[in-house]
Structure 1
Amino acid sequence: MTLQQTSPRTPLLRDRLDPQRWADVVRVPTSSPPRTAVARAVITRALSRLPLRVLLGDRVLGRGGPLLEVHDPEAFTARLARDGLIGFGESYQAGEWDAPDLAGTLTVMAEQLTTLVPPALQRLRRLWEARQPAGAGSEAAARSNIRAHYDLSNELFGLFLDDSLTYSSAVFEQMPARWEQLERAQHAKIDRLLDLACVGPGSRVLEIGTGWGELCVRAARRGATVVSLTLSQEQHDLGRDRVRAAGCADAVEIRLQDYRRLDPERDGRFDAVVSVEMIEAVGVDHWPTYFRTLDTMLAPGGRVALQAITMPHDRLLATRRTYTWIHKYIFPGGMLPSNEAIDEATRAHSALRVTESEGFGTHYAETLRLWRERFTAHAAEVAELGFDEAFRRMWTLYLAYSEAGFRSGYLDVRQILLTREDEA
């Protein structure tokens, strides 16, 4: 069913979209009158309390700040009433609301995330919110999930990443960061992680999550040999090409393989295991297997160095089974851990223990800002690759949404050292 319009309106982006490709963006849902009334009251109350300037039809709400302009209040309300934050994201994809300073607007909302909805309604949300599908994180699901994101197009990622093709947080010498600093800052991040794992001449290194091969190259140039695993065909192929072009093919093997298929009898054990922002794709139910695998594949005296995006533990507990806009459109099956969850999982399922952990979330906010600005500047080239306006708005929202998480302090990114307790 679709929301019936009671008066003429200006055509919106959703009217121009492919209804098969973007069915839930084109379709405006309906809710029961009581639910719509409650949603309208909750939305009005929440927006009125925020340090934003909200244009909601002919009403002005908020306490001043970045502008949020709702072009179709009925559709905006209907989507939030039916689908919560999934509806909020789809409403942006549909062109039903805009914000000139998108990251700034979302940062304000992220700072107030836990207080926007009254506690009584938060407790009731499990009755209506979407739940993650069964089997998320299985080997078959992992292959599908990774390919859904990373196999979109190497050319797409090349339009907004720096020449290192590194798709994770950089570490900058100074901020605010500039684009010309990004590649050096990505190398600084990789080098810090390799230092944490004590990678040097003769080290056998296992990397879980290849990216496009930059860490492999930098480890090989230290005199290490590397086995790197990915589930993305696009990353596998381009990563191997880049390793060969760097003259490191003899020291690096990139495999299209799930980490769960590692076998210490066949593959040997490794002096260092490194993994950059991979645990987020593993899924809550598979964290025990992930950490057991790290432990099993680590040689005596070895070190595990992870880079991981983290969230507060109370939010993890509240949302660990929730299906979100990010799951639906960006990272299917993913889940961010908390510091406590990593500590609990390693203690319960391995001999590994967290021995160092350093956060640098503000650096991720700057990294994401640079990516978002670059992506926006290359909108015409993105369109030439075959990605339509709904996709471009989706990707812009994803980058701004993520940036807001780090700017608000709701998210962090950490480099974490794991060693065996009996070898410390």
Structure 2
Amino acid sequence: MTTTALPIPVVDPVRWPDVARLPHVPLRAAVAERILHRAAVQRGLRVELPGGRTLHAARPGAPVLRLRHPEAFLHRVGESGLIGFGEAYQAGDWDSPDLVALLTALATSPEALVPRGTRWLRRLCVQRPPEAELPTTANARRNIHRHYDLSNDLFALFLDPTMTYSSALFPTSPDPDRGPAATWEGLATAQHRKIDRLLDLAGVGPGTRVLEIGTGWGELAVRAAARGARVVSLTLSEEQLTLARHRIARAGYGDRVEVRLCDYRAVEGAYDAVVSVEMIEAVGLPFWPEYFATLDRVLAPGGRVALQAITMPHERMLASRHTYTWILKYVFPGGQIPSLQAITETAARRTRLRVTAADAYGRHYAETLRLWRERFTAQAGQVARLGFDEVFRRMWELYLAYSEAGFRTGYLDVHQLLLTRGEAA
């Protein structure tokens, strides 16, 4: 593919070494071009090239992949697959007028895009997660720091006033085809609905001793304390620790909530309820047994565990569990999204806990992410004023859109789970 590319954007090579570096892998680039053709035909994409040309004549309204620097795009994808695809977006090699529509089309059965005769090449570009990012006790705080300690002000730009960074639970439309009734104005209420449902699952009320694993910015702890509970909340994020303590004190519950900078593995005590929202994804597959053993160890007799967890189908989890992805490299180092089966089996094999209720609502997460993404995109100037460059802004935009597409296709889901020691749910 020979084209006249636009100048490659200037990228800080210290901050973004692998985005600044342009690989040269002609054979793999040729394979990437073949896959691009296949994707355009199979998914009905409109691939636009510089000069107004198109790679594939798609139907009107088709998702658009706009290649600004086609050669750079192909060499990046050829060298490192989906990591290269993400880095190419960060570098400005490609764009789309509707990023979610494009990623949704690509996320549907992605394995079918690779021709059978070239699938062996996957072994050459798929990397394993580096040992320095495995979420051991020694590494976990550094991993959390890279994401959650970016800036409280950054998260405040796109989160609602509750500062809740997990899926909301919106009212359900009477028409199931329309999906959840999600609006920015209703997001805070939807976050409270999600939190209250988890607290109900855990049986939190007056006098309940609550352990929260993963503080966030303190909203769940405030809601639990408002019910009369006493809360110990654990975080590894110093930024979140500071703001959560401030928000809890401002709400008038400083005497009922203790926020600790503490790894979940080090917690002591006995609790009537353990609540954790979208934290298991940061635990890492090798440490799931220890995570559930900790829940079992600190749960008082008759207690209940309420978890909210992002999940993926079990077969996809097994296929991707040793793969270093763009999300792991740039957004959530050390993570691993579990399957519902993996959660159920790990808890049953390693502890006395059993999953006694599981409710899924992935479409609600897609809408939550849409609202965050739209808000973040509208705040581009504020993001720059906080000191984050254009490569970061594009990275975050792609992360939000990529995640939204995952929930829209069913590649990802989110569950609220109740675990008990055999008591009826």
TM-score of the alignment, normalized to the shorter chain, above 0.5: yes
1:49 lines up with 2:42 in the alignment: yes
CA distances 1:204-240 after superposition (whole Å, capped 9, x unpaired): 0000000000000000000000000000000001000
Question: 2:20: which partner in 1?
Answer: 26
Choose 302-311 or 63-72, whichever is displaced more.
Answer: 63-72
- 1:312-335 per-residue CA deviation (whole Å, 9 max, x = no partner) reads 111111110100000111000101
TM-aligned CA deviation for residue 358 of structure 1: 0.2
- Distance, in Å, in 2 between the alignment partners of 1:346 and 1:103 is 35
CA apart distance, 1:54: 1.3
> How far off its partner does 1:30 sit?
1.2
Q: For 1:372-387, list aligned pairs within 5 A.
A: 372-387=373-388
1:170 to 2:175 alignment: no
Q: CA deviation at 1:271?
A: 0.4
What per-residue deviation string (whole Å, max 9, x for no partner) do you get for residues 58-83 of structure 1? 33326431211111111111011101
Distance 2:181 2:192 in 1: 18
Shift of 1:120: 5.1
> Is the counterpart of residue 59 in structure 1 residue 60 in structure 2?
no
Correspondent of 2:217 among 212, 218, 232: 212
Give the match for residue 71 of structure 1: 68
Instruction: Work out whether 1:82 is the aligned partner of 2:106.
Output: no
Task: Report the Cα distance in structure 2 between the residues aligned to 1:6 and 1:63, rounded to whole angstroms.
Answer: 21
Change (3 A) 1:246 1:150: same
Paired residues, number: 413
Does structure 2 retain, via aligned residues, the 8 Å contact 1:145–1:331?
yes
Matches within 5 A, 1:284-299: 284-299=285-300
Q: Which residue identity lines up with residue 34 of structure 1 in the other structure?
A: L
Is the CA contact (8 Å cut-off) linking 1:311 and 1:337 kept in structure 2?
yes
Which residue pairs with 1:12 in the alignment? 8
Decide which moves more: 367-376 or 168-177.
168-177
Conservation of the 8 A alpha-carbon contact between 2:201 and 2:418: yes
* CA offsets 1:292-317 (integer angstroms, 9 cap, x no match): 00000000010000000000111111
User: Which deviates the most, 53-62 or 152-161?
Assistant: 53-62
Q: Could you tell me which residue of structure 2 aligns to residue 279 of structure 1? A: 280
Code of the residue aligned with 1:20 in structure 2: it is: V
Q: Distance in 2 between matches of 1:149 and 1:176?
A: 30
- Displacement after TM superposition at 1:34 (Å): 2.9
Between the aligned partners of 2:306 and 2:118, the Cα distance in structure 1 is 40
- Cα deviation, residue 50, structure 1: 1.1
Matched, 1:261 2:266: yes
Aligned to 1:241: 246
Query: Matched residues in 2 for 1:82 and 1:9: separation?
Result: 19
What are structure 1's unaligned runs of at least 5 residues?
Answer: none
- Secondary structure (helix, strand or coil) at the match of 1:21 reads coil
**Aligned twin of 1:191:** 196
Shift of residue 141 of structure 1?
Answer: 1.3
> CA–CA distance in 2 between the matches of 1:393 and 1:273?
37
Counterpart AA for 1:83? S
Partner in structure 1 of residue 114 of structure 2: 117
For residues 123 and 234 of structure 1, what CA distance do their matches in structure 2 show? 44
Of 125, 130, 135, 1:133 maps to: 130
- Alpha-carbon distance change, 254 to 325 in structure 1, aligned in 2, over 3 angstroms: same
What is the Cα deviation at residue 88 of structure 1?
0.3
| Structure 1 residue 181 corresponds to structure 2 residue 186 | yes
Deviation at 1:111, TM superposition (A): 1.5
Q: Which moved more, 1:66-75 or 1:235-244?
A: 66-75
Could you say what secondary structure the match of 1:74 adopts? helix
Q: After alignment, is 121-130 or 62-71 more displaced? A: 121-130
Cα separation, partners in 2 of 1:362 and 1:7, compared to 1, 3 Å: closer
Classify 1:8/1:118 alpha carbon distance in 2 versus 1 (closer, same or farther; 3 Å): closer
Q: SS state of the match for residue 162, structure 1?
A: coil
Match of 1:331 in 2: 332
Moved more, 176-185 or 239-248: 176-185
Q: Deviations over 1:52-107 (max 9, x none)?
A: 21114533326431211111111111011101000000000111111011111111
Residues 272, 302 of structure 2: 8 Å contact kept: yes
Q: Percent identity?
A: 61
Name the SS of the counterpart of 1:61 in structure 2.
Answer: coil
Q: Is the 8 A contact 1:313 1:341 kept in 2?
A: yes
In structure 2, the gaps of 5 or more residues are: 173-179
Q: Is the 8 A contact 1:49 1:63 kept in 2?
A: no
The answer on whether the counterparts of 2:265 and 2:294 sit within 8 Å (CA) in structure 1 is: yes
Q: How many angstroms apart in 2 are the aligned matches of 1:412 and 1:283?
A: 18
Deviation at 1:116, TM superposition (A): 1.5
Question: Please, which moves more after superposition, 36-45 or 395-404?
Answer: 36-45
Q: Aligned with 1:387: secondary structure?
A: coil
Q: Distance in 2 between matches of 1:396 and 1:60?
A: 25
Moved more, 62-71 or 413-422: 62-71
1:10/1:185 CA distance change after superposition, 3 Å: same
Contact 2:302–2:423 (CA<8 Å) still a contact in 1? no
Structure 2 residue aligned with 1:105: 102
- Whether contact under 8 Å (1:68, 1:105) holds in the other structure is yes
Q: Does 1:368 align with 2:360?
A: no
| Aligned 8 A contact 1:50 1:63 in 2 | no
Q: 3-state SS of the aligned residue for 1:237?
A: helix
Once the two structures are superposed, residues 269-307 of structure 1 have per-residue CA deviations (whole angstroms, 9 ceiling, x without a partner) of: 100000000000000100000000000000001000000
Taking structure 2 as the reference length, what is the TM-score of the superposition? Answer: 0.94
Partner in structure 2 of residue 40 of structure 1: 33
Residue 39 of structure 1: CA displacement? 2.5
- 1:354 deviates by 0.6
Cα 1:124–1:74 change in 2 (3 A) is closer
The 8 Å contact of residues 171 and 181 in structure 2, kept in 1 or not, is answered as: no
* Residue 35 to residue 52, structure 1, CA distance change in 2 (3 Å): closer
